[in-house]
Amino acid sequence: MSVGFFALLVLLFVRVYFRKKPFGTFIQQFLFGILLPYMGILSLWLIHIIHAGFVPDKIIHMFHYWDFRLSTFLILVIIPVSIYKVYTNISDIMALKKTLLNLPHRRFKNIIVLKVDKPLAFTLGVLKPLMFISEGVLNLEKDVKGLILLHEKNHVKSLDNLKILLFSFFLPSKRELALLKAQIEISNDYKTLKFYPKETLIKALKYAISSHNIGIGISDEILMRLETLKYGRRKTDILNYVLFLFSTAIIVFIAIINCPG
């Protein structure tokens, strides 16, 4: 077995291990638990293709090597599964949107007011998202209501649902998806804090905890948001990016020296 084959096994182990036990921050998880393994697998495969000069006969000859067999198999599995995952996510979103629009509601352009007493606020859709607000939100205190509406408008402007959909191409675990959503929500929280005091945001989050369970890992997201409000936002450590680039360079170097010459 070649060095590249064992490198692929290590990359697979890294992906599986950190998928089950993710890092504490989204940036660390995305760089080392997601992007590095996938980029490594792709680079070990692509170096063989480049070496073969994209000539079909030479590419077929590369199947004599175990690392090319394994990397090809992984890519042929990961890509279709990723596409199917995105397709099912879009289908689920469309089905949920259709269900909600069949409920009693009032519509004001892209804002849907559901006739529900509990405070609910969320956006659905990717390129042209709809903002769903319950009458329970409209009955809240003026400052809390204003903050919630601004928060949801920011989601629409930032195309946050599109970011989540694109992230699903990486086949994330529920915990990884919760980390991304928390990252998006925290960023959005800081935008709303420019116009409303922290106490108002905390009050809105408490309503969210007590009123609904829409979304994967929403309780984890809210707890992360409350923790960030209490202790402040974690600064992005430049060392993470340095280690990521260094690790990527090592994988590419292994791919180059491993490729038969």
Q: Rounded CA gap, 164 and 78, in Å?
A: 18
Instruction: Please report, to the nearest 10 degrees, the dihedral formed by the alpha carbons of residues 237, 241, 193, 167 taken in order.
Output: -140
pLDDT along the chain (261 residues), means of 10: 89 94 90 96 93 89 90 95 94 92 90 90 89 91 92 92 94 91 90 92 81 51 82 81 94 85 57
Q: Which residues of 234-247 are buried (b: 16+ CB within 10 A; e: fewer)?
A: eeeeeebeeebeeb
The closest of 63, 62, 17 to 36, measured between CA atoms, is: 17
Residue with tokens 């697979």: 12
Q: What is the pLDDT of residue 233?
A: 76
This prediction has a pTM of 0.86
Q: What is the pLDDT of residue 217?
A: 43
Q: Rounded CA gap, 128 and 243, in Å?
A: 38
Q: Rounded CA gap, 114 and 111, in Å?
A: 10
Q: What's the helix, strand, coil split of the chain in %, to 5?
A: 70, 5, 20
Q: Rounded CA gap, 15 and 242, in Å?
A: 20
Q: What is the pLDDT of residue 208?
A: 77
The DSSP bridge partners found for residue 123 are 131
Q: Rounded CA gap, 3 and 6, in Å?
A: 5
The closest of 188, 117, 184 to 154, measured between CA atoms, is: 188
* Cβ atoms of 186 and 133 closer than 8 Å: no
SS3 state of residue 205: helix
Q: What is the pLDDT of residue 215?
A: 40
* Burial label, 259 (beta-carbon count in 10 A; 0-12, 13-18, 19+): buried
* Burial label, 57 (beta-carbon count in 10 A; 0-12, 13-18, 19+): exposed
* Cβ atoms of 147 and 192 closer than 8 Å: yes
The DSSP bridge partners found for residue 113 are 106, 133
The closest of 141, 217, 151 to 182, measured between CA atoms, is: 217
Q: What is the pLDDT of residue 173?
A: 93
